[in-house]
A and B are shown apart, each in its own frame.
Chain A
Amino acid sequence: MLIKQLSVFVENQPGRLAEITDILGKGNIDIRALCIADTTDFGILRLIVNHPNQAERELREAGFTVSQTEVLGIGIEDTPGGLSVALNALLEANVTVEYMYAFVSQTAKTAYVILRVADNEGARALLESKGIRILNGEDID
């Protein structure tokens, strides 16, 4: 019901991002979605991949600091206003969103939004009750 996301600590040095994508490429790992949160000194690269455990292992072996987080994925109709329904539902219920990022599915006409919230279970139940589709691992594949 929840999606496994990898977070990689990336120092602000040239080549680090390319190195990460090289490792994933060599391991035949497909990146479904990514985003980078950056500060002056470092960034956190968040990845949704098709084989998170393998990816984590290979990145660790190459010396990267990696952690796994469970995040919520929701499917939104790819039309204007689609996302705002979901966000308003969370706001009404006082659920804080730490961060989010989105990508569009190739096959279905759906926008997928990844959310990190404080209480995954609570948020999931709330969104489902509003008729919002919750993604699971297979949807990402």
Chain B
Amino acid sequence: MGKLYNAIEAAPLEEIQSLQLKSLQKTARDVYEKVSFYRQRFDELGVKPEDIQSLDDLRKLPFTYKQDLRDTYPYGLFAVPKEQLARIHASSGTTGKPIVAGYTQKDLDNWGECCARAIVAAGGGVGDFVHIAYGYGLFTGGLGLHEGATALGATCIPVSSGNTNRQLQIMQDFHSDILCCTPSYAAYLGECLQENKIAPEDIPLRAGIFGAEPWTENMRREIERLLGIKAYDIYGLTEVMGPGVSYECEEQAGMHVNEDQFIVEIIDPETGEPLPEGELGELVFTSISKEAFPIIRYRTRDLCRISRRKCSCGRTFIRMEKPQGRTDDMLIIRGVNVFPSQVESVLMQFENIAPVYQIIVDRAGALDTVEVLIELNEGFAFDVVRMIEDLEKKIAEALRSNLQIAAKVRLVSPKTLKRSEGKAIRVIDNRKLY
């Protein structure tokens, strides 16, 4: 049995569930009293916080959807006055509305606790240099792992993302022990290592904690081989907290959910009915310790199974497998969430193009590539090559600044994009993510 950061990770199930029930009851009371959105939802269902007498009663509570966060943007779901807010984070995307999260100092401490557990589960500890190559800023990735390394007492190297040559130099010169970034970036760093003729044994890196996008077992093996490390998965989302909602242990066979902070359910995405352990369904999380931005039964749209089978690491926290797909059309490109409808709303700003487009996502080597094909308007009066190229450049720049994706834009003749039953096929994803 490996090291644990906190004894509660191996607490008996009854103890965890008793804590969950008390915390859930408090959370239900808090949202009912302090968040008008939830009071309204509870009242519509005719449910009161007192109705939560057992964990099974969780199913009486309403679901929360991404659209609800958009509708209450920016701070409509917060349960504390602004004087208590220590931090704001937001997901990427400036068309439509980003997802906004708030944190009290206690929330930040809990977040640090969760991520510290993840780092320890990956074999990290005091004295380790934690190389954080997730983006620092409004994105939860960088600062989340930073909170974790700080709480643990390890040493943060806040590199943030990008500038690969510098990443490699830092990894060697600053003796990074644990690498935190997206799995595709880790694979990319691995390839760069090879190109620079640096052997994996020659860098001190021992382990990596990778998340923010789906990745397969094949990819894990590739990363482990290229970097000479053990690669661990971590899961989270801004709506629920950020990274650290669940994390992998030395068994590398599923992620332990921080059940003292979150209650996880798997539901049938069509009916909303909770499913038994082991069945594939939609992942739903309820926070039970968050103060600033508590969330009830959030529909993640990730498809997954959970299991309480015994783990050799000794942790009793339930495990979720790697997500197996999504119930919506959201894409994750280099760790950034993108909806085809967001691409569409960027395109609609431009004249001379039809609202017919196709997003082709691929992976050349380790990194995701995006090509957006757009049909020209039949009436487009073009004559000079530069006109078309300028339009392509403008569209690419709009996609970059609004959605944080680097897409290659190609204008094509009208009526040439594949249609299926009259409807254009919006997304072709050639990556094998699941």
Which A positions have Cβ atoms within 8 angstroms of B?
Answer: 5, 7, 9, 11, 37-39, 41-42, 44, 46, 60, 63-65, 67-69, 98-99, 116
Contact = CB atoms under 8 A, between A and B. Distances in A.
Given A11-B413, A11-B416, A41-B410, A65 B380 contact: yes
B376 A44 contact: no
Contacts of A9: 376, 382, 388, 413
B389 A65 contact: no
Contacts of B383: 5, 7, 44, 46, 67, 69, 116
A39 B415 contact: no
A7 B410 CA distance: 18
Interface of B: 376, 378, 380-385, 388-389, 410-416
A43 to B, nearest CB: 8
Contacts of A46: 383
Given A9-B376, A39-B389, A63 B384 contact: no
A7 B413 contact: no
Given A7-B383, A39-B389, A60 B378 contact: yes
21 contacts: A7-B382, A7-B383, A9-B376, A9-B382, A37-B384, A37-B385, A39-B385, A39-B389, A41-B410, A44-B383, A46-B383, A60-B378, A63-B415, A65-B376, A65-B382, A65-B414, A67-B380, A68-B381, A98-B384, A116-B383, A116-B384
A44 B376 CA distance: 13
A7 B416 CA distance: 18
A63 B414 CA distance: 7
B381 A67 contact: yes
Contact of A11 (B378, B384, B412): B412
A129 B388 CA distance: 35
B355 to A, nearest CB: 16
A44 B382 contact: yes
Nearest to B381: A67
Contacts of A63: 413-415
Nearest to B392: A41
Contacts of A41: 410
A116 B415 CA distance: 29
A50 B419 CA distance: 36
A79 B389 CA distance: 37
Given A37-B384, A65-B378, 16 more contacts: A7-B382, A7-B383, A9-B388, A11-B412, A11-B413, A37-B385, A42-B411, A44-B385, A44-B388, A63-B413, A63-B415, A64-B413, A67-B383, A68-B381, A69-B383, A99-B384
Residue of A7, A42, A64, A116 with most chain B CB atoms under a 10 A cut-off: A42
